[in-house]
Structure 1
Amino acid sequence: MPPLTKPELIASWICRVIAALILLQTLFFKFTAAPESVYIFTKVGLEPWGRIGSGVVELIAAVLILWPGLSWLGAGLALGVISGALMSHLTVLGVVVMNDGGLLFTLAVIVEVCAAIVLWIHRHALPVIGARL
């Protein structure tokens, strides 16, 4: 695995911190059953288990994305859970939810982009499935 260049390392840390902060900030609303979160998960038919389950996955993703050596795994989890959120916005919820001006959608896009960048930068750390078969 080649070492990261200084620009790659800086970009990685910036994207990792941004994605983790957004993921961690939204956990408060999910775990306290804030009206916005309950509305969203009711609308997509996943309240309360989808809200709690996605919150747990986001917590794990936020921790792993900051963990050196496992940031690729955190980025992959973040991409998965946020892809589901974006699809929900685009198919059921709409970009604007409860007059938020599109804030939740925008934050999801930022996490998606940051996680994709982290995964790309750390692509050499990805385990090769079946390499020893």
Structure 2
Amino acid sequence: MQLLKKHGHWVLTLFVAFVFIQSLFFKFSNSPETVYIFQGKLDPWAASLGFAGVFAPGGIFSAKVVGTAELLASLLLLVGAATARRPWIQVAGAAMGLGVISGAIFFHLFTPLGIAVINTDGSSDGGELFMLACGVWVSCAVLLWMRRDVWAPAVRQLLGRS
């Protein structure tokens, strides 16, 4: 139990970083799967709401923008886990990861993307992307809870509750 308490943050960090980093190839290479998700599903949905182009290449939520945020969150998590004297770095990575993955979960649940993504060839991912997103969300939330001694005093001070 003591081992898990002392090093559990590494397990969570490595899981989040693995999920985020393994997806970078798809986001930065314009793979058919990523183009289909961002430009074939999400951008037409956004356009129907009057926000055309936000998921297209160059859009504020394009695959490369999301991939860059995931890469930065991964680096912050890994550097923060390795640097015991600066745990706020890991907190920043967990918070950023939680924000990015919250967006992914939202788009799976409330857009035509759906929980089980139907690929261009008609096959389904069986909900794998959604389940990985949920695992990343839980991992980031647990990391933030584990590091609450780092961020909670700052929040209390901001709220005027010393």
TM-score, structure 1 length as denominator? 0.89
In 2, the alpha carbon distance for the partners of 1:109 and 1:130 equals 28
The answer for unaligned runs of 5 or more in structure 1 is none
Query: Does 2:91 correspond to 1:65?
Result: no
Shift of 1:82: 0.4
What is the correspondence of 1:1-133 to structure 2 with a 5 Å cutoff?
6-42=3-39, 43-45=41-43, 46-48=55-57, 49=59, 50-68=62-80, 69=87, 70-92=89-111, 93-97=113-117, 98=119, 99-126=124-151, 128-129=154-155, 131=157
Shift of 1:44: 1.2
Shift of 1:109: 0.8
Shift of 1:7: 3.0
Matched to 2:90, the amino acid is: S
Shift of 1:6: 4.3
* Backbone CA RMSD of aligned residues: 1.7
In 1, the alpha carbon distance for the partners of 2:137 and 2:105 equals 9
Q: Which residue of 1 aligns with 2:84?
A: none
The answer for unaligned runs of 5 or more in structure 2 is 44-54, 81-86
What is the percent sequence identity of the aligned residues?
A: 39
TM-score, structure 2 length as denominator? 0.74
> Structure 1, residues 10-45: CA drift from partner, whole Å, max 9, x if none?
211100100111000011100001111111111111
Q: Report how many residues are paired.
A: 129
Shift of 1:56: 0.4
Matched to 1:100, the amino acid is: D
In 1, the alpha carbon distance for the partners of 2:131 and 2:36 equals 18
Shift of 1:125: 1.2
> Structure 1, residues 46-92: CA drift from partner, whole Å, max 9, x if none?
02232111100000000001122211110000000000000000011
In 1, the alpha carbon distance for the partners of 2:155 and 2:114 equals 37
Matched to 2:157, the amino acid is: A
Provide runs of 4+ in structure 1 moved above 2 Å.
5-9, 129-133
In 2, the alpha carbon distance for the partners of 1:130 and 1:83 equals 24
Matched to 2:97, the amino acid is: A
